[in-house]
A and B are shown apart, each in its own frame.
Chain A
Amino acid sequence: MSWTLNAERVEDIARGAALLGTGGGGDPYIGALLARQALAEHGGITVVSLDEVPDDAVVLTVAMMGAPTVMVEKLPSLKEVMAPVRAVGEYLGRPVTHVACAEVGGVNSTIPIAAAAALGLPLIDADGMGRAFPELQMVLPTLYGVTASPLALADEKGNVSVLNTVDNTWTERIARVACVEMGCSVMISGFPMDGATAKAALVPDSLSHCSNIGSAILAAREEKRDPVEAIVELVRGRELFGGKVVDVQRGTTAGFARGRARIETGSGTDAKALELNFQNEHLVAKTETEVLVTAPDLIMVVDHDSGEPITTEALRYGQRVRVLAAPSDPRWHEPAALAMVGPRYFGYEMPSHRWDGSTDAEPAAVAS
């Protein structure tokens, strides 16, 4: 069923997306403000559920590519949000009928809202991941043979480039270089799909899901209930650990923030610790003796009391946090998907551990 998204709803969506973004995507404030401004200027947008999208629809994803830290300084303009969608439409020779989120998390959950408002297009209640991942090709449509290209990038200066590449990994490589040249904060649009493909390939109801999570956190706080319990129920996951952040180490490897955080609770013989490994997003949660959960399932860090999601950039010594795990879209556990977003792809030599602690079987040749 379609619904109207107006400025009041943006806060909830941004908060829910910050949670499902599993630590990545940057501070959602600018993205939310951008969406609110666009909605105030152009009016509310229509959000349609995936099953309502006509089979012959022309669907594009819209996202920001680059460094969230740059975006908080070089703010976007709405023109630059519209330009890549129009460019791909022109390239295809067909008008774009719907836009969708590539991922939920940080700014990329709200930029498509601004794009839909500015372009006057309906937004699909769905996204390409059901969470956030760091690279462009890491979306479920890739598994369905949808190519990222033609993919357009636009900067604020009016530069627009349309990439036509041999596969999605090449799109990522070329787009990343162009992005840096264009000032490290660009708007992109691509993954053209017809409606039938979108129905098969996207994760349904993600915006409603984010909105529900956001409003549940606020409602629990107002009613003096535990917001974290409300989250666990909505994401159908479990609480892994609660404690104090005692160490955060960061470094930049090939343009991505890799790091480790250690969370402790208790003292003496009761002392327990959890280690998180992250590369923008949280990818591995483990104790000293065992791996608990890895990507592609969701590892989320929230404030101990308020349930406010904490990004990996905002993790600080001394914070009291709770760590939650939840299942990802089941398609992420297929072998081809694990090759793209499993722990080994990110450099962790271990099989994928699901949110409940079970592991995914791997081909014998890969296991070590």
Chain B
Amino acid sequence: MHIGIDVGGTNTDAVLMDGRTTLAGVKNSTSSDVTSGIVAAIEALRERHSFEGSDISAVMIGTTHFINALVEARRLAPTAAVRLGLPATAALPPLVDWPDTLLEAIHAKSYLAHGGYEFDGRPISPLDPEELRGIATDMAANGIRSVAVSSVFSPVNHDLEVQAAQILAEVLGDSVAISLSHEIGRIGILERENATIINAALRELAGEIVDGLTAAVRAQGITAPIFLSQNDGTLMDEDYVRQYPVATFASGPTNSMRGAAQTSGLATCAVIDVGGTTADIGLLINGFPRETANEVKVAGIRTNFRMPDVLSLGIGGGSIVDPETAEVGPESVGYRLSTEALVFGGSTLTATDIAVAAGRANVGDASKVAHLDPQLVQRVLDRIAERVSEAVDRMRTSPEPLPVVAVGGGSILLPDELRLFGAVHRPENYAVANAIGASIAQVGGEIDKVYAVEPGRREETIADVRAEAVNKAIAAGAAPESVSIVDFDEVPIPYLPGNATRIRVKAVGDLDMNTGARA
């Protein structure tokens, strides 16, 4: 058996799983501290389905703690950024486009040093150890407790980042954490560097959170390894989270989508998560969310995290309905649904009232919507179906038939058949889909680099890169026979001769529960 827990902003969901079967699922309010919510969730599971601590082989947790800490600019460590690249890049130093509130919150210091590589791996300039020692001394004098190191073209060659980290650590000592950009992001130095600085700022908090989670789980007599969900739906172990907290940022929507897919038994599908205010539409391909291709802004900072590509429509259970036009949203009564909707004795016509009037839902007092014109009710439902259908069509990546899965409390607004897509799947345990998503035990490895592909050696180069990704997944704890390539992208770089090509490969396999993750 294993346990999946999703700590969201409002609710903490938990499930007890046996393989892919859900034995029990519970929903609690999220607590302000890390531990008590986890304790309450595990105890509630135990009440539903008794188990011994030793029965549990793994605990998987998805959390929004880290992204919330950044958005709220609190509990961030004093952080410095060093970039190796001089004499290049001087016009746009690290932290160049950051919001002032965050610069203050992390007591930011920015440094430029010599080093870095050209696109083809030639050095720009050698590392200057004296320069780096001087920078480290200045950091120490400024009370810096966490450092981000980036280097030009470190995705092509990361040697200088590693060497620079050693020199800095000699001066700063072990108590200062160092995050390296090549381990965190992709090509695009500002975005990769930003992600690395965010990671650095979160590392103290990561230690506290992991300690708290571990203590809560251990107090329940569970000695099994603990994993956290990453943005891409794969898992990382405790030590990895301490080093790379930033990798948890988009795990919320990812777990919701993967849980929806798992409960419906579909690996490739569109997921429509209808809440109170929005309908969030994402695409799952081979069990993993399709990710955005473009830069993503997090808390006003431009990054190139791999985030699930989610399209949000202003349609939810609390959306306000215009009786004249039959248009729905984007305004919503939100959490006031239980007092403002007609069926709850309020005076606002909401989408939930329409669903009740149409007999699709049985909440509140149906007699309070009996007066609604059946034609209006039908027009509103048709309009919702039309907009959702168009949005799903917009998200899909091929004209192949695509099953659609609906989850979330507001999914009663959706019809049983959607134009272009056919039947809408409604899985049973959708209320705890997030926790089920967290409990899916897979680990992965990703490679994203620029290669000079020699003529006639394309196949060979690609095979090497694929093998490298597979090995990375196995190193992260995947059972070797289960590893497969789930994502492959090859983009020739324009204006460059010599067939310079950016190759991106992601391999994923099932977590080997016997050995655990070693990431």
Partner-B contacts on A (CB < 8 A)? 29-30, 33-34, 37-38, 66-70, 72-81, 114, 134, 156-158, 176, 180, 183-184, 244, 246, 250-252, 254-257, 280, 313-314, 316-318, 320
Contact = CB atoms under 8 A, between A and B. Distances in A.
A140 B458 CA distance: 39
A183 B118 contact: yes
B88 A75 contact: yes
A74 B85 contact: yes
A66 B495 contact: yes
A180 B124 CA distance: 14
Contacts of A183: 88, 118-119, 122, 124
- The 7 A-B residue pairs with the shortest CB-CB distance, nearest first, are A257-B494, A252-B492, A156-B88, A77-B90, A75-B89, A255-B497, A67-B495
A30 B492 CA distance: 20
A76 B479 CA distance: 44
Nearest to B497: A255
Select the residue from B91, B92, B190, B295 with max chain A CB neighbours within 10 A. B91
B496 interface: yes
A184 B189 contact: no
Given A157-B124, A317-B398, A318-B397, A69 B88 contact: no
A157 B85 CA distance: 10
Contacts of B188: 72-73
A250 B492 CA distance: 7
A153 B395 CA distance: 44
B288 interface: no
B293 interface: yes
Given A75-B189, A257-B492, 14 more contacts: A67-B495, A72-B190, A73-B152, A74-B85, A74-B124, A76-B91, A81-B91, A156-B89, A157-B124, A251-B492, A257-B495, A280-B494, A314-B294, A318-B394
Given A156-B124, A280-B494, A69 B90 contact: no
Given A73-B188, A314-B293, A33 B497 contact: no
12 contacts: A37-B92, A67-B493, A68-B494, A73-B153, A74-B124, A78-B90, A183-B118, A184-B118, A184-B119, A252-B501, A257-B493, A317-B398
Interface of B: 85, 87-92, 96-97, 116, 118-119, 122, 124-125, 152-153, 187-190, 293-295, 302, 393-399, 450, 491-502
Say what secondary structure dominates the interface of chain A: mixed
A73 B192 CA distance: 9
Say what secondary structure dominates the interface of chain B: loop
A334 B116 CA distance: 47
A30 B92 contact: yes
A154 to B, nearest CB: 11
Select the residue from B89, B90, B491, B496 with max chain A CB neighbours within 10 A. B496
B16 to A, nearest CB: 38
Nearest to B112: A77
A134 B88 CA distance: 25
Nearest to A78: B91
A134 B189 CA distance: 25
Contacts of A75: 85, 88-89, 91-92, 152, 189-190
A255 B495 contact: yes
B85 A254 contact: no
B506 to A, nearest CB: 17
A252 B187 contact: no
Nearest to B156: A73
A316 B293 contact: yes
Given A67-B495, A76-B88, A33 B97 contact: yes
A69 B190 contact: no
Contacts of A76: 88-89, 91-92
Contacts of A79: 87, 90
Given A183-B118, A280-B495, A313-B494, A156 B190 contact: no
Given A38-B91, A255-B497, A73 B119 contact: yes
B495 A256 contact: yes
A66 B495 CA distance: 6
B314 to A, nearest CB: 14
Contacts of B293: 314, 316
B395 A67 contact: no
Given A250-B491, A255-B497, A73 B189 contact: yes
Contacts of A180: 496-498
A153 to B, nearest CB: 14
Contacts of A66: 495-496
